[in-house]
Structure 1
Amino acid sequence: MKLSFTLLSLFLILNTPFTASANDKDLLKTAKALFGIIPAKQERPDKITAEQTELGRKLFFDYRLSKDGSTACVRCHQPQFYSTDRLSQSTGFNNNKGARNAQSILNLKYQTIVHWRNDRINIEEQALRAFTTPLSLGNSSTEEALKRLDLAGYSPLFAKAFPKTEKPLTLENAATALATYQRSLTTRAPFDKYLEGDIKAISAQAQKGLKEFVTVGCSSCHNGPAVGGRMMQKFGVFHDYWGITKVANPDKGRQDVTKKDEDLYIFKVPSLRNITETAPYFHDASAKDLDTAIRWMGKLQLNKDLSNEQVSLIKAFLESLKGELPKNFREAPTLSSEPYAGPNI
């Protein structure tokens, strides 16, 4: 969904403080300009897209596709934890630990940045690389990954999902299917009903929290339908982040990818959808609870010591961003009964 505001209008909104006389309609108008609605009814997919989505769903949940049978996409993105794993460092093949906290994949459809360091062009590239990276499925080669797909009985499903291709069973097509599935995973929340004009869809506290969220400056980075996920930002604009988070080895962020000085400590601004369900927080999982994360963000990014009341109000707003999990995510698919082939295939 495209937002209707221009950069100029966004600038004016963010730099025009609310007054005590601002009423419900003023707040709603501002929120509509800053954010975007996840609609109640998603566009009905055509037959091929539906086949690709279901194929991607099966791939997402299938542990047999990893080198040792221990890992699948769902291992790091578990439904019961709103597509996270609640670990400081996610674990892949052979229990190899990743460097950062796994982000939720819910509502990626409304985000333009996939990874903490923006080192993936899109969801397709992330899915493609997952098949052979030792931090994910761990296959030694493309050929090995394809062999696992074939042994698991996927060839007919690829033929249905990619009927116009000469060779349907490819990792590129697998990545397309996984990306199509992930883009289908959206979580509509009470905040969306509010944006549609139902003032009572969120509590009075949440509305006060929304006002605080905008007034304090949080929405300068956390905006759009996903309430984030659209830009990169330095973590620690006003202070060294490790001075507050107390992490022993500060992550250099995007600089490790680009080798540019200006990218030091630059990370993705994460989506705040379902944020109440996805602790711990930040790339290094240093904030164990939401109150701490809110307070630290105020200090690090805005140079503001938020009061207990401000933290409580902002948290009330963030609670209104929790949506219902889509059925095709909370329920695992039925997979074929083909056994795991083992590491030496």
Structure 2
Amino acid sequence: MSPFFHRLILVPLFGLCLSAGAAPLDEPLKPLPAAPKQNPLRVELGRQLFNEPRLSVNGSISCASCHQLDNGGADKLAFSIGFAGLPVAINTPSVFNASLNFRQFWNGRADTLEAQIHEVVQSPSEMGSNWQHVVQTLSADPAYQASFANAYPDGVTMTNVQNALATYERTLLSSNSRFDQYLLGDTDILTREEKYGYQRFKEYGCIACHQGVNIGGNMFQKFGVMGDYFQFRGLAVESDLGRYLVTRDEEDRNVFKVPSLRNVAVTAPYFHDGSARTLEDAVDVMFKFQLGRIPSSEDKTLIIKFLKTLTGEWGGKPL
């Protein structure tokens, strides 16, 4: 037995010896809640709109073009392609579990899913449309006329389009990750290394920012707490200013919403700039610029094993 694993075995872990079927664990991270009950007519209408390219001004892209449910709710690109065939300025986050974030967008400029939808449709780099055009287009379609009339007393309106889309997105929770099953008491579902990875995740301080039910998404944090990430990366651009673009407060320069780590193993590339191509790269950057520490290779491996347990399911299949 290697000295490293001998050391691990000697370190006590809360819950390590619990058996499957035990009570939920008292941990700082919490399992995903059940999806809230929604009006099924609005959910189905929202699903159709999510896949509707006519929300964009030239009918070229839909929400699903960038938020691909079979690609972890994102699109595997550093920068998604907008309606004009050009890349947008910032990485597309996953739509899965977005309803659990305390703000939307990397700089947190939208308080709700509806506000996020409102901006994306009109964005000159994303969908390039306007709400008058969207409402007119949908109103001219008999199928949408009927669907909206069934779901909303006042039919096709901007507010109802946004509400239907947001209602559908609130159902997009990637439940039943192995880590969620562990938190719910099935402590045998994780391997010894994955459990130690979770312990290291807490000990190194990752959990200070990646916390709560969404394992992130509930606070803002400066990118580069322990070093100048942007000098290291080079070629600074406007989107690097983060929350400063919203508040114009110097304290918000390079500050971003902390992303959720749910499904992180299947949502590369990482960060607002899409600069980290692999999970290993992302962990290295976080240790250097957020924690100011250099982990042992063993600890880094363990943490990555833990992060891979955060992948949930959608439609009865792992993401």
Same fold flag (TM > 0.5):
yes
TM-aligned CA deviation for residue 26 of structure 1:
7.3
Q: Give the aligned residue type for 1:33.
A: E
2:32 corresponds in structure 1 to 38
CA distance in 1, matches of 2:24, 2:205: 13
Q: 1:302 aligned to 291, 295, 301, which one?
A: 291
Residue 230 (1) aligns with residue 224 (2): no
1:116 corresponds in structure 2 to 106
Classify 1:30/1:236 alpha carbon distance in 2 versus 1 (closer, same or farther; 3 Å).
Answer: farther
| 1:184 counterpart SS class | coil
1:206 corresponds in structure 2 to 194
| 1:131 counterpart SS class | helix
CA distance in 2, matches of 1:25, 1:195: 9
Q: Give the aligned residue type for 1:206.
A: E
Residue 192 (1) aligns with residue 170 (2): no
Classify 1:217/1:19 alpha carbon distance in 2 versus 1 (closer, same or farther; 3 Å).
Answer: farther
Q: Give the aligned residue type for 2:174.
A: T
| 1:310 counterpart SS class | helix
* Aligned residues: CA RMSD: 2.3
Q: What fraction of aligned residue pairs are identical, expressed as a percent?
A: 36
TM-aligned CA deviation for residue 147 of structure 1:
1.2
Residue 84 (1) aligns with residue 77 (2): no
Classify 1:317/1:130 alpha carbon distance in 2 versus 1 (closer, same or farther; 3 Å).
Answer: same
Q: 1:259 aligned to 248, 268, 291, which one?
A: 248
Residue 175 (1) aligns with residue 165 (2): no
TM-aligned CA deviation for residue 21 of structure 1:
4.5
TM-aligned CA deviation for residue 65 of structure 1:
2.5
**Contact in 2 for aligned 1:91/1:98 (Cα 8 Å):** yes
Classify 1:247/1:279 alpha carbon distance in 2 versus 1 (closer, same or farther; 3 Å).
Answer: farther
**Deviation above 4 Å: which 4+ runs of structure 1?**
18-21, 26-31
1:285 corresponds in structure 2 to 274
**Contact in 2 for aligned 1:280/1:287 (Cα 8 Å):** yes
| 1:34 counterpart SS class | coil
TM-aligned CA deviation for residue 187 of structure 1:
1.0
**Contact in 2 for aligned 1:65/1:72 (Cα 8 Å):** yes
Residue 51 (1) aligns with residue 41 (2): yes
| 2:256 counterpart SS class | strand
**Count of residues in Structure 1 that have an aligned counterpart in Structure 2:** 303
| 1:94 counterpart SS class | coil
| 1:138 counterpart SS class | coil
CA distance in 2, matches of 1:27, 1:116: 39
Q: Give the aligned residue type for 2:120.
A: A
Deviations 1:288-320 (A, max 9, x none): 100111111011111101221111111000110
TM-aligned CA deviation for residue 201 of structure 1:
1.1
**Contact in 2 for aligned 1:92/1:135 (Cα 8 Å):** yes
TM-aligned CA deviation for residue 19 of structure 1:
11
- Unpaired runs of 5+ residues, structure 1, are 1-17, 331-345
TM-aligned CA deviation for residue 89 of structure 1:
1.4
| 2:272 counterpart SS class | coil
- Unpaired runs of 5+ residues, structure 2, are 1-7
| 1:106 counterpart SS class | coil
TM-aligned CA deviation for residue 205 of structure 1:
1.1
CA distance in 2, matches of 1:264, 1:159: 46
| 1:233 counterpart SS class | strand
TM-aligned CA deviation for residue 127 of structure 1:
1.1
Q: 2:58 aligned to 63, 68, 74, which one?
A: 68
Q: Give the aligned residue type for 2:132.
A: E
Q: Give the aligned residue type for 1:249.
A: A
CA distance in 2, matches of 1:326, 1:221: 29
**Contact in 2 for aligned 1:96/1:134 (Cα 8 Å):** no
**Contact in 1 for aligned 2:24/2:183 (Cα 8 Å):** no
**Contact in 2 for aligned 1:128/1:172 (Cα 8 Å):** no
Q: 2:262 aligned to 267, 273, 282, which one?
A: 273
TM-aligned CA deviation for residue 225 of structure 1:
1.3
Classify 1:77/1:209 alpha carbon distance in 2 versus 1 (closer, same or farther; 3 Å).
Answer: same
Deviations 1:111-145 (A, max 9, x none): 21211000112111111222222223222x32211
